[in-house]
Amino acid sequence: MIRLDNVSKLYSLRVNKPFLLRDLAGRLVGRKPSTTDFWALRNVSLEVPRGDAVGVIGRNGAGKSTLLSIIAGTVYPTEGAVVTEGRVCALLELGVGFHPDLTGRENIFLNATLLGLTEAEVRDRFDAIVAFSEIEQFIDMPVGKYSSGMVMRLGFSVAIHIDPEVLIIDELLSVGDANFRKKCLERISALKARGCTFLLVSHSVDDIRFLCQRAVWIHQGEVRAAGLVDDVVAEYTKFLA
């Protein structure tokens, strides 16, 4: 279960860099950097019941990724409260949780244990993780040498094999070939059928319709619409037209 109550996130953006210059008397004087406030999210309330699947849509810069980061706990809200229940796995950025100097094998053990598995559980699931990722021949190569698609494959494979109760994905399904993407969608559907709570940010309304029962449209940091997926997507599509 996920619940947000009046969540807001404020960032201070630097407008001008500090610099030194000489005044008329030849003395060095400085100018402090100037900043401006930017509300990435403003009074967002949202509830995702256990086992539900919700898609988050909106233009670039609307606040979607900030919303997922707050739910995942990697970013703290400026105002409001966030509650999550269950084992949360978030795929927010390529390579997060992976050390570039460690091999794929070493990163599987590191990442999976950070997500809550014991070393024995990782050993039991290791072969399945590698097989799903389809990068067997590169598993003992440092992850820093991987392509973005290989990193996505490994990250997604680890995530789905820890049996998450809450799965959060930010656009990662856009990386990789069509066959692997199809396999990911099928595995997400299987997790949903087992009761996994699912939150997806995507620019693909087809993916949102396929995977989600409900949707939320974020616009300029605020919830513009929320409800059944077809209704919200229709409203968003009309706005873009």
Find tokens 């699931």 and name the residue.
125
Token output for 222: 């605020």
Write the Ramachandran bin of 146: left for phi over 0, alpha for psi from -120 to 50, otherwise beta: beta
Query: What average pLDDT values come out for the chain (241 residues) when binned by 10 residues?
Result: 93 71 66 80 93 92 92 92 88 75 95 88 96 94 91 88 88 70 85 89 86 93 95 94 80
Per-residue pLDDT tens digits for 50-81? 889 999 999 998 999 899 999 988 899 999 99
The residues spanned by each domain of the chain are: 48-240
Separation of alpha carbons 137 and 195, rounded Å = 34
Question: What is the pTM (predicted TM-score) of this model?
Answer: 0.81
Q: Which amino acid belongs to residue 232?
A: V
Tell me the CATH class for 48-240. Answer: alpha beta
Q: Rounded to a whole number, what is the largest CA-CA distance in the chain?
A: 75
Per-residue pLDDT tens digits for 23-45? 666 676 666 767 788 999 999 99
